[in-house]
Homo-oligomer: A and B are copies of this chain.
C-alpha cells in the first residue's frame, strides 16, 4: 500500500509515465481526454508528487527561506504570517529561520539555507557585508530596510512621522525628545533622520536621547533619561521601546499623556494592549509581506526587480495629548 507515483498512475491509465508527468507540469500539451483521465485517477489514488524527486530533477525546491532577526519581537509574527500566506498562494512553502538576534548566526543560517530554498526573504534590521556575501548566488530580497545588492521592500515612515510631529506641535509641545534605536539598525537611522528633518524649521526643540536597545527594557531606560530632559513628548524608535517608556514613566509617576506624550512606530499588537494605547505609525505589514514574496518570485524567475516602498500611516490613540 505505497504512495501513488506517476508510474502507478501511468499503469492504471495505460499511458507512459512521461505523459502523466506532463499532465501535471504542462497540461496543455496532452490530449484533453487523456489528461482528464489521468487527473481523475490521480485524485482517486491520492497522488501527491514527490517533492524530493521533482527537486532532484529540476533543481528547484519549491521553498523559500525566511530569515528573521528574532521571531519573538512583536513586529515579526504578523510579517511572518503575511509572507506565509503569500507564499502559499504561489505554492511555495516557507522555511523560517530565526537568527536569535545574532548577526553572526545569520550568515551561518543563510549558508545552510542555500540549496534548500529557491530564494530568501531577509527580515533583519542589521546589515553586514558578511551577510551579503553569504547570500551570494541565492535570489534574495530584503524587507523593511534597504541593503546594497538586494532588492528591498520597505515601509517609508517619513510622511507619517512628520505628520506625527506636526500633531505634537499642534497640541502645544515645544520640547520633544527623540529616543534613538540601535545605530546599527537601518530603520532607526531612517526614523531619526526623519524626526530631525521635521524639527528643523518648527518652533520645537528636539532633544536627542540614546541610543537605546530596541526592547522593552531599552524603553524603560529611555524613560529614565526622558524624565530629566524637560521634554513633554517623545518619539520612541518603535512600539516595543515605547511600551518600555510607558512603563518607565508610570514608575516615575509621570502621567501619559498629561505629563508626557509618547509616539511609537510599527503598530504592533502591543501598541493596543497598553494603557493608554499608543499613538504610532502603522506599517502595512500584510502588503509588505506580499510585496516581498512577489519580488522574490521575480528574482527567482530572473527578472530585474525594483525596490518597493509603501507608506506607513499615522494612527492617533491615547498616548498623545496636550502637555499639562
Contacts and interface: CB of A to CB of B under 8 A. Distances in A.
Interface string A85-118: 1000000011111101000000000001011100
Interface stretch (A34-42, A155-163, A192-200, A243-251): A243-251
A273 B51 CA distance: 44
A259 to B, nearest CB: 14
Given A53-B56, A250-B275, A77 B84 contact: no
A3 B59 CA distance: 12
Interface stretch (A23-31, A68-76, A140-148): A68-76
Copies of this protein in the complex:
2
A203 interface: no
Interface residues of A, number: 47
Contact of A85 (B78, B84, B100, B244): B100
Given A77-B77, A269-B74, A273-B244, A98 B84 contact: yes
A193 B274 CA distance: 29
Interface of A: 3, 48, 50-53, 55-56, 61, 63, 70-74, 76-78, 80-81, 84-85, 93-98, 100, 112, 114-116, 216, 240, 243-244, 246-247, 250, 269-270, 272-275, 277
Contacts of A240: 273
A273 B96 contact: no
